[in-house]
Amino acid sequence: MDASKPIIALDFQEIDQLNEFLNQFSEPLNVKIGMELYYTTGTQMVEALQNRGHDIFLDLKLHDIPNTVKWAMKTLAKQGVAMLNVHAMGGQAMMEAARQGIEKGTGEGAKRPVLLAVTQLTSTSPEQLKNEQLVEATMAESVNHLAKLTQQAQLDGVVCSPLEAKAIKEKFGEDFLTVTPGIRLTKGQDDQKRTATPYEAALNGCDYIVVGRPITQAKDPVAAYQAIKAEWQKGLAENALF
Ligand code: C5P
């Protein structure tokens, strides 16, 4: 997947809306499909997007016993998607199994999909961590610990906030990927609280940015995409100078 382009989160409920959106673009895109769309449209949608030249981050966040995740990942890797993910909460053995499954499912000569882990969901509050998960550690400690397990399982990186990316890179190394949603051109637009601009995200060392509503809900989605891409690339170029 070409890291110089943002990944567009295709969070559409209707296929017609999705097609109307995609038909406006004449270039190959990086796109993210979540479970809503995948469970409705399945492998057909993956194939259709690939036939249009788009690279896919299949955001299904697997979490089950290691054996089940291994074979599920093998099947998903066979579909030729570029990026897949699991919940780090499934444990190190499950993440290792996911990686083995992906390796088995990747065709001869094909590029292995990037495999990421989600640490703590951004929807989980510190109260839930304590009262529901019975975790006494702080949110930051828990996120750090789960990122460490991810690295030990030899996954490629984590999904995290653009504001956490720098610290994660410092702790886990430059090669450990950070894929970051919560990207906004201006602050305070919607429910995302801890946001960064594409430019700031690049300077923070994020490897990929995931952008949904600022593009999908824009009056002119192509113009919004180009503006976000330009900001991202400006930051990447500046980062490369240091
Ligand atoms: O519309 P928006 O730019 O907020 O979309 C961001 C995308 O990234 C959505 O698909 C959302 O589910 C996903 N995501 C997120 N925060 C996380 C993990 C995933 O916003 N921690």
Residue nearest (by alpha carbon) to ligand 1 atom 19: 181
Instruction: State the residue for tokens 């949603």.
Output: 181
The structural domains of the chain, with segments of one domain joined by +, span 7-240
Q: List alpha helices for the chain, DSSP H.
A: 15-22, 35-51, 66-78, 92-105, 126-131, 139-152, 165-172, 198-203, 213-216, 221-241
The alpha carbon of 182 and the centre of ligand 1 are apart by a number of angstroms equal to 6
Nearest to 180 by CA among 4, 6, 24, 1: 6
Instruction: State the residue for tokens 């991202």.
Output: 232
CATH of domain 7-240: 3.20.20.70
Q: What predicted TM-score, i.e. pTM, was given to this entire model?
A: 0.94
State the pairing for strand pair 30-34/157-159.
unpaired
The alpha carbon of 159 and the centre of ligand 1 are apart by a number of angstroms equal to 10
Is 74 annotated as a binding-site member? no
Q: For 80, which DSSP code?
A: T
pLDDT 10s digit of each residue in the chain, 242 long? Answer: 999 999 999 999 888 999 999 999 999 999 999 998 999 888 999 999 999 999 999 999 999 999 999 999 999 999 999 999 999 999 999 999 999 999 999 988 999 999 999 998 888 888 999 999 999 999 889 999 999 999 999 999 999 989 889 999 999 999 999 999 999 998 766 777 778 999 999 999 999 999 999 999 999 999 999 999 999 999 999 988 76
Residue nearest (by alpha carbon) to ligand 1 atom 3: 212
Nearest to 87 by CA among 123, 137, 131: 123
Is 59 annotated as a binding-site member? yes
Q: Is the CB of 159 under 6 A from ligand 1?
A: yes
